[in-house]
Amino acid sequence: MEQKVFFIKTFGCQMNERDSEIMAQSLSTYGYVEGMDIAGADLIILNTCSIRAKAEQKVMSMLGYLRKNKKNKPDLKICVAGCVAQQEGKRILKKMPHVDLVVGTQNIYNIGELLLESSKNGPQAAIGLDDKYDIPNLLPTLSSRNQDATISIQPFRKFVTIMQGCNNYCTYCVVPHTRGREVSRKSNDIIDEVNALVKGGTKEITLLGQNVNSYGKTNSVSDNGNSYSFSDLLREVSEVKGLKRLRFTTSNPKDLTDDLMRCFQNIDNLCHQFHLPVQAGSDSVLKKMNRKYTVRQYLNLVDNLRHYCPEIALTTDVIVGFPGESPEDFEGTMNLLEKVQFHGSFSFKYSDRPGTRAGSFEEKIDETIKSERLARFQARQDEISFKRNREYVGKIKTVMVEDCSNDSVKSRTETNHIVHCAKTIDARPGDCLDVTITRAGQHSLQGKIINPG
Ligand code: 5AD
Ligand code: SF4
């Protein structure tokens, strides 16, 4: 078979990173190998995100730019996959006639077949979204991707999808529309995948889902039909021999159980890090967002998490300028920031998304006010993150090595902080070392290697 080269550009979340891996793996059975740039590619895939208007605009402008490439190389195949593909479907083919294939979020496993189909019969859009979707089982082959493509596909650190879709219908969010109804994978399939990865040299696993806390709630995930929760899954995965670190993302506070919080106390290899999106610090905004918790309830969760795991590093997502957000509502978000002192946060200006309820809400906030609020929030978060980073100075931490190809060693703590050290010993990615933290920067820490951990 003639070997062809594909180039894949991933936008958006870790879920998409994992989906890109799946497409890469599927394509490898169709004679494709991964390349590192657009120039040498026979097939270009944009794996897209539509969570915010800006993310979607980025994809559209890149697609427009690829028109030239197709003109210069008529055999070039262009594929749009992921959330924008799901959302726009055939409209993409109409607007962008140089696109050969549109692959929706549940169709990525068939990308190879769909490509053949488009070669035979012209441009295709596969965007079926099945409510009772069975996530196919594709055991990972660690070698299926170009290992330099992104940091997240380094073989010692891998993602495992445990569920797809979302049933929460937060009023601002496009995900239920692009990823469909919530479906959890069978626990045995997940354990098999983790076992295969760890056997192949993986040291750290991140379990992925739009709302992992509700794993197993909408469909049966155990072979005997017994109830089985996300905490049960965490316990089982954590016991896979050779797995050094376990993480998960992302969580909705409304489904966070005491049992799950206690896992941070009881599971040794569960990393002391929690991403718990709050979105807003005002009860009335949270209600309009359909988040189903109050500020007080969120603060109680934070207290409980810190009770079970005092050193846990908390991060969050915040939206500013949601329709109707008053100056007082926004002060509520600033107050929450002061109370929790998050280690870090991701903050965004609200943007209307197609098909969402908030899209039709009145009292839209002026863009300049949104920008001012975002700037204020981010400036304060930067100060807090820096202060949090300084708390680590003088402490001894175990870090996992990510890169030691230069004279410094780049590594990561359990709390997800990057640590740079002078290369005083030879280490490989995935090795654990003990370091003393010597300095804190705004975005990373510096340390000194003491001994292999
Ligand atoms: N506008 C702005 N931010 C959004 N997010 C999700 N939808 C929107 C939207 N319409 C943010 C939320 C979510 C993160 C992934 O993106 O904070 O947690
Ligand atoms: Fe973007 Fe959400 Fe789709 Fe991930 S699931 S790619 S964040 S829209």
Structural domain includes residue 195: yes
State the pLDDT confidence band at 405, using cuts at 50, 70 and 90.
confident
What is the pLDDT at residue 152?
Answer: 42
Judge if 298 and 319 occupy the same domain: yes
Most confident of 26-35, 372-381, 425-434: 372-381
User: What is the widest separation between alpha-carbon atoms in the chain?
Assistant: 65
Domain containing 381 — which CATH number?
3.30.750.200
Q: How far is CA 375 from the centre of its chain?
A: 24
State the pLDDT confidence band at 217, using cuts at 50, 70 and 90.
very high
Beta carbon of 370 within 6 Å of any ligand 1 atom: no
Most confident of 220-224, 279-283, 422-426: 279-283
Judge if 107 and 200 occupy the same domain: no
Judge if 114 and 36 occupy the same domain: yes
Minimum-distance ligand to the CA of 354? 1
With contact defined as beta carbons under 8 Å apart, do 220 and 202 qualify?
no
Q: Compute the average pLDDT of residues 56-71.
A: 93
Beta carbon of 6 within 6 Å of any ligand 1 atom: no
Beta carbon of 178 within 6 Å of any ligand 2 atom: yes
Judge if 302 and 364 occupy the same domain: yes
Kindly give the number of the ligand 1 atom that is closest to the alpha carbon of 352.
10
Q: Compute the average pLDDT of residues 429-439.
A: 96
Minimum-distance ligand to the CA of 357? 1
Domain containing 400 — which CATH number?
2.40.50.140
Q: How far is the CA of 16 from the centre of ligand 2 (A)?
A: 7
On average, the pLDDT of the chain sits at: 93
Q: How far is the CA of 51 from the centre of ligand 1 (A)?
A: 6
Q: Which residues of 265-294 are buried (b: 16+ CB within 10 A; e: fewer)?
A: eebebbbbbbbbbbbbbbbebbebbebebe
Domain containing 262 — which CATH number?
3.30.750.210
Minimum-distance ligand to the CA of 210? 2
**Is the pLDDT at 203 greater than 60, yes or no?**
yes
Name the residue with the closest Cα to ligand 1, atom 18: 317
Judge if 286 and 265 occupy the same domain: no
State the pLDDT confidence band at 357, using cuts at 50, 70 and 90.
very high
Kindly give the number of the ligand 1 atom that is closest to the alpha carbon of 318.
17
**Looking at the 3D structure of the chain, how many domains does it have?**
4
- Model's pTM, two decimal places? 0.94
Beta carbon of 350 within 6 Å of any ligand 1 atom: yes
Distance in angstroms (rounded) separating the CA atoms of residues 359 and 341: 31
Kindly give the number of the ligand 2 atom that is closest to the alpha carbon of 48.
6
What is the pLDDT at residue 7?
Answer: 96
Q: How far is the CA of 186 from the centre of ligand 1 (A)?
A: 28
Distance in angstroms (rounded) separating the CA atoms of residues 160 and 205: 7
Domain end position, chosen among 248, 271, 294: 271
Beta carbon of 51 within 6 Å of any ligand 1 atom: yes
Structural domain includes residue 84: yes
Q: Residue 75: what are its φ and ψ, rounded to 5°? A: -80, -10
Beta carbon of 15 within 6 Å of any ligand 2 atom: yes
Minimum-distance ligand to the CA of 170? 1
What is the pLDDT at residue 150?
Answer: 46
Judge if 137 and 253 occupy the same domain: yes
Beta carbon of 104 within 6 Å of any ligand 2 atom: no
Candidates 331, 344, 315, 345; CA nearest to 281 is 331
Minimum-distance ligand to the CA of 19? 2
Judge if 92 and 32 occupy the same domain: yes
With contact defined as beta carbons under 8 Å apart, do 305 and 280 qualify?
no
Q: Compute the average pLDDT of residues 264-278.
A: 97
- Condensed to tens digits (0 to 9), the pLDDT of residues 80-137 reads 999 999 999 999 999 999 999 999 999 999 999 999 999 999 999 999 998 888 888 8
**Is the pLDDT at 222 greater than 90, yes or no?**
no
Helix (H, G, I), strand (E, B) or coil at 13: coil
Structural domain includes residue 163: yes
Percent of the chain clearing pLDDT 90 (strictly above) = 88
Name the residue with the closest Cα to ligand 2, atom 8: 51
Q: Compute the average pLDDT of residues 165-175.
A: 96
Q: Which amino acid is at 70?
A: K
Q: How far is the CA of 356 from the centre of ligand 1 (A)?
A: 12
With contact defined as beta carbons under 8 Å apart, do 449 and 419 qualify?
no
Judge if 36 and 137 occupy the same domain: no
**Is the pLDDT at 142 greater than 70, yes or no?**
no
Name the residue with the closest Cα to ligand 1, atom 13: 317
User: Which residue among 50, 52, 288 is best mutated to probe the pocket of ligand 1, counting the most ligand atoms within 8 A of its Cβ?
Assistant: 52
Q: How far is the CA of 115 from the centre of ligand 1 (A)?
A: 32
**Is the pLDDT at 151 greater than 50, yes or no?**
no
Structural domain includes residue 147: no
Range of the domain at 241: 131-142+152-271
Beta carbon of 173 within 6 Å of any ligand 1 atom: yes
What is the pLDDT at residue 146?
Answer: 60
Name the residue with the closest Cα to ligand 2, atom 7: 13
Domain containing 82 — which CATH number?
3.40.50.12160
Distance in angstroms (rounded) separating the CA atoms of residues 76 and 98: 9
Kindly give the number of the ligand 1 atom that is closest to the alpha carbon of 250.
18
What is the pLDDT at residue 302?
Answer: 98
Q: How far is the CA of 320 from the centre of ligand 2 (A)?
A: 19
Structural domain includes residue 253: yes
Length of the chain: 453
Beta carbon of 16 within 6 Å of any ligand 2 atom: yes
User: Which residue among 48, 175, 210, 211 is best mutated to probe the pocket of ligand 2, counting the most ligand atoms within 8 A of its Cβ?
Assistant: 175
> 138 versus 393: which is more confidently predicted?
393
Domain end position, chosen among 271, 296, 317: 271
